[in-house]
């Protein structure tokens, strides 16, 4: 499932991120790439584990916790500490796959990358190119979002970022290990949750059918979730 989560960060929060990222310690993006990705990755990243990466990464995690659509769609078990990247001057990231397992730096934690996330931090009018192209069952999807908006998609998809030919594209990216490993099963649970929310809005959270469907939803999670 590919899903856009609008306004994960407010305009004010985006401005704060941009201000802090101005003074961050940027390094060559290939430092966190796998063998294949390294060949096609050409961008800059805030050094993993650096104070600003940790500070802003924690703010992203707080915002995600408050984003109901994200929680409903991702059913997160573990989230990799968010990283930050920058493309300018023709930089791009060719077609690649994300590593299946990522070790969290300095901690005995590994995250299975079920879902890839990109949180856009630049106004799309401020740069040309920089589209995130995601290959899926229905062909390739082109994603370029407003600052503060985020896309999530199956980490199993081949994807790339087209060259940024004008301006600068800054984003946060990270991976989620979901309680529901299978993308298709997760999509069905998301649809069910959205239907329950819609029913609750129309008929009340205490409506007998809302209660019954909520029970079904939680029993499905109970049956299939990793914890």
User: Residues in the site for Ni ion, rule: CB under 5 A?
Assistant: 98
Using the CB atoms, write b or e for 90-105: b if 16+ within 10 Å: ebbbeebebbeebeee
Q: Which helix (H) or strand (E) holds 201?
A: helix 183-203
For residue 77, the minimal CB distance to Ni ion (Å) is: 20
The answer to whether 133 and 159 have CB atoms below 8 angstroms apart is yes
C-beta closer to Ni ion: residue 98 or 193? 98
For residue 26, the minimal CB distance to Ni ion (Å) is: 18
Cβ-count burial of 46 within 10 angstroms (0-12 exposed, 13-18 middle, 19+ buried)?
buried
Q: Which helix (H) or strand (E) holds 129?
A: strand 128-129
C-beta closer to Ni ion: residue 98 or 131? 98
For residue 176, the minimal CB distance to Ni ion (Å) is: 14
C-beta closer to Ni ion: residue 159 or 186? 159
C-beta closer to Ni ion: residue 32 or 122? 32
Helix (H/G/I), strand (E/B), else coil: 115: strand
For residue 36, the minimal CB distance to Ni ion (Å) is: 11
The answer to whether 90 and 202 have CB atoms below 8 angstroms apart is no
Helix (H/G/I), strand (E/B), else coil: 16: helix
C-beta closer to Ni ion: residue 93 or 190? 93
Residue nearest to Ni ion (CB): 98
For residue 212, the minimal CB distance to Ni ion (Å) is: 41
For residue 102, the minimal CB distance to Ni ion (Å) is: 11
- Residue 219: half-sphere exposure toward Cβ, Cα within 13 Å: 6
C-beta closer to Ni ion: residue 98 or 149? 98
* Phi, psi of 83, deg, nearest 5: -110, 170
């Amino acid at each position: 499932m590919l899903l856009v989560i609008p306004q994960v960060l407010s305009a004010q929060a985006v401005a704060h991120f941009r201000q802090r990222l101005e003074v961050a310690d940027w390094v060559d993006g290939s430092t966190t790439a796998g063998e294949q990705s390294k060949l096609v990755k050409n961008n800059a990243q805030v050094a993993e584990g650096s104070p600003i990466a940790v500070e802003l990464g924690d703010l992203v995690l707080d915002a995600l916790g408050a984003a109901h659509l994200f929680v409903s769609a991702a059913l997160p078990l573990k989230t990799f500490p968010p990283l930050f990247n920058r493309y300018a001057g023709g930089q791009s990231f060719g077609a690649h796959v994300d590593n299946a397992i990522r070790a969290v730096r300095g901690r005995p934690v590994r995250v299975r990358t079920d879902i890839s996330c990109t949180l856009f931090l630049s106004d799309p009018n401020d740069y040309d190119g920089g589209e995130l192209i995601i290959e899926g069952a229905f062909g390739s999807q082109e994603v370029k979002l407003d600052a503060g908006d985020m896309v999530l998609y199956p980490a199993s998809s081949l994807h790339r970022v087209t060259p940024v030919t004008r301006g600068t594209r800054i984003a946060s990216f990270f991976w989620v290990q979901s309680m529901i490993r299978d993308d298709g099963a997760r999509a069905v649970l998301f649809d069910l949750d959205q239907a329950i929310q819609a029913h609750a809005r129309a008929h009340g959270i205490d409506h007998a059918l809302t209660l019954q469907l909520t029970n079904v939803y939680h029993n499905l999670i109970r049956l299939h979730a990793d914890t």
